[in-house]
Amino acid sequence: MTRLCASKTHQLIRLIHPVSPVRPVRWPVASTRFWSSSSSCSEEDASGSTMLRHLTSKIKATGPISVAEYMREALTNPVMGYYVKKNMLGADGDFITSPEISQIFGELLGVWVVSEWIAAGRPKQLQLVELGPGKGSLASDVLRVFAQLQPVLSAASVSLHLVEVSPVLSRLQAQTLVGTADEVVQEGRPVYRHGQTAAGLPVSWYRRLEDIPAGFSVFLAHEFFDALPIHKFQRTERGWREVMVDVDHERPGRLRFVLAPSPTLASNTLVQADESRDHVEVCAEGGVIIQQLARRVSKHGGAALIADYGHDGTKTDTFRGFKGHSLHHVLASPGCADLTADVDFSYVRRVAGKGVACLGPLSQKNFLKNMGIDVRMEVLLKNSDQSTREQLQSSYEALTDGAKMGERFLFFGLLHPSRLAQPKMATGLKLEKRSPAPPPVAGFTELQFA
């Protein structure tokens, strides 16, 4: 059975065009959010921003705010938020991600989506949903694979749904995916932007996951959950205390961390009774989205693939900032720097609940290798000139090398429970009817390619 599925994934990859990448490596690896050198913040950064003044007056009026509130304001304040007002991905931005490094990444995720659709029995409808699509590169690479696999996918009515808070990025995504950002923008409506790809596939933009219509969906979230607000908690002799953000009374114009003097609602409800760490970060907002994904997958079928840097409940203090491709103090220049925290996949698994099957976390290196990145590389290298070959090789290394993105980025799957259900076994003398075993889940299973 494994071989059967392996050859199916293999066949899908072979069906993708053997052309050179349209987006070879453009960034040195040091530009990702992992290999940045530390940079001190300038005086101007530390005190100048409007966001800093906004936060300072808020804290002075009502007291210290949680790290989650600080992060939410800094990243997604509707006027001054980091994600709302700028494109942070690229040379002039603050960091670079796997889909921007190489098109192979999105192609393999496209094959994963198609293989899960096939494994679900080829439902008539396929909603591809991406959370936090950035520049739209991943969705664009997945759609190109869909177009190339049209003979396989022709039975499905396919649509693309994007969850994005940033007007700047949604315009960029529209340019990439539908060729124009001029299509109808419906202010205040759940679908705030709508368009059609050149191939006629409908694309809709939403601010929130709950606004996406129900139906069989495959969800992709790449470097999305790390951008959601986290609460931070510290174990003390008097029990768990929440870390808060306060104004620094000794250094005007600066913020500092303080511990809440007594338990907060968050410290009472979000820290597990059997927690063994001394410091924990909990992304409650991400937890709510995971629960929504799990409910949708268990009720309407489909799968969710979450890829992010993270850990399985072992790390403590991972909250960090990035600006201009360098590490940046998290409390300096809020609204002008990216803020991020590792995804705790043990928390993701816990909040997903029993209604879905969870797979992973598995390292990016193993996931991409299981998906057949080497087979795809072989085809591309064979059809490339020398300079493209070098670019391909270096992007391959960036994605898979353990010291680069290969080990620290993890893949996690939420699947409908039937997807992993074992076939019924013979009981006693009476043989129950056996249904075929479900095919292994591509990416999470080591597959032998012929």
Binding residues for ligand SAH, per CB under 6 A?
Answer: 75-76, 83, 89, 97, 99-100, 132-134, 163-166, 169, 222-224, 227-228
Residue 11 beta carbon to ligand SAH: minimum distance, rounded to whole angstroms: 28
Residue 359 beta carbon to ligand SAH: minimum distance, rounded to whole angstroms: 20
- Residue 26 in tokens: 């453009």
Neighbouring-strand partners of residue 245 = 65, 257
Residue 37 beta carbon to ligand SAH: minimum distance, rounded to whole angstroms: 21
Measured from the CB atom, is 136 or 301 closer to ligand SAH?
Answer: 136
Residue 284 beta carbon to ligand SAH: minimum distance, rounded to whole angstroms: 13
Peptide bond before residue 439 is cis, with ω within 30 degrees of 0: no
Rounded Cα gap, residues 377 and 6, in angstroms: 17
Tell me the residue number closest to ligand SAH, measured at CB.
132
User: Residue 327 CA to chain centroid, in angstroms?
Assistant: 20
414 touches 352 (CB < 8 A): yes
Residue 165 beta carbon to ligand SAH: minimum distance, rounded to whole angstroms: 4
End-to-end alpha carbon distance in the chain: 14
Rounded Cα gap, residues 352 and 306, in angstroms: 12
Measured from the CB atom, is 286 or 301 closer to ligand SAH?
Answer: 286
Neighbouring-strand partners of residue 128 = 160, 218
Measured from the CB atom, is 5 or 172 closer to ligand SAH?
Answer: 172
432 touches 424 (CB < 8 A): yes
Residue 142 beta carbon to ligand SAH: minimum distance, rounded to whole angstroms: 12
Which among 267, 401, 270, 415 is positioned nearest to 344, based on CA atoms? Answer: 270
Measured from the CB atom, is 89 or 111 closer to ligand SAH?
Answer: 89
Residue 96 beta carbon to ligand SAH: minimum distance, rounded to whole angstroms: 8
Residues 6+ apart with CB under 8 A from 28: none
- In the chain, the amino acid numbered 57 is S
Measured from the CB atom, is 287 or 439 closer to ligand SAH?
Answer: 287
Measured from the CB atom, is 68 or 227 closer to ligand SAH?
Answer: 227
Measured from the CB atom, is 142 or 357 closer to ligand SAH?
Answer: 142
Residue 95 beta carbon to ligand SAH: minimum distance, rounded to whole angstroms: 8
The stretches of 41-196 forming alpha helices (DSSP H) are 43-47, 50-62, 67-76, 82-85, 98-101, 103-119, 137-148, 150-153, 167-178
Measured from the CB atom, is 23 or 419 closer to ligand SAH?
Answer: 23
31 touches 97 (CB < 8 A): no
